[in-house]
Amino acid sequence: MRLDPGLRIGTYATFSALIVTGAAWLAADQLKDTESGEFWQAVAPDMLMLHGGCAMIALVLLGALIPVHFQRSWRAGRNRISGSVMMAVNASLIVTAFALYYAGSDALRTFAADIHIAVGLGLPAVIITHIALGRRMRALTVRPLLQPVTFSEDRGSP
């Protein structure tokens, strides 16, 4: 199911910003112990704040996508595997983000952080695959409708 252009652009922009701010925070966090560590120490909290803000917008968009995209596509039997993977990946990111924010145990926070980073770094590949498979499936189902109608002799002609 193709998304409305506004929702599609908003979703792509939000998830792109999530990926960029998450990767920027990860880089800043890794570089804070280097020679230019003072700069990266200042950048890291800003990236984390932007990442959290984008995550809030993403939660709203995911909530909107459930009835207008996920449920309709599921009922139509389209792109179920990659759609389910998308839902599972996003669910794991939500759960691990919750654990990062609210976990009292350092061991749990470390575990949640590792999972969140690994899944987050894999998110672009999952998104691109889901979009590509959806577009391919759409092209396969739309193309036959655009082909000229031909009549065979055994069916009769108009």
What DSSP character marks residue 68?
I
CB atoms within 10 A of CB 127: 19
Measured over the CA atoms of residue 52, residue 40, residue 42 and residue 110, the dihedral's sign is positive
Whether residue 47 contacts residue 24, with contact meaning beta carbons closer than 8 Å, is answered with yes
Q: Give one word for 148, left, alpha or beta, with left for phi > 0 and alpha for psi -120 to 50.
A: beta
**pTM score of the predicted model:** 0.83
Distance between CA atoms of 31 and 81, rounded to whole angstroms? 38
Per-residue pLDDT 10s for the chain (158 aa) are 788 999 999 999 999 999 999 999 999 999 999 998 899 999 999 999 999 999 999 999 999 999 999 999 999 888 999 999 999 999 999 999 999 999 889 999 999 999 999 999 999 999 999 999 999 888 887 555 555 555 555 555 55
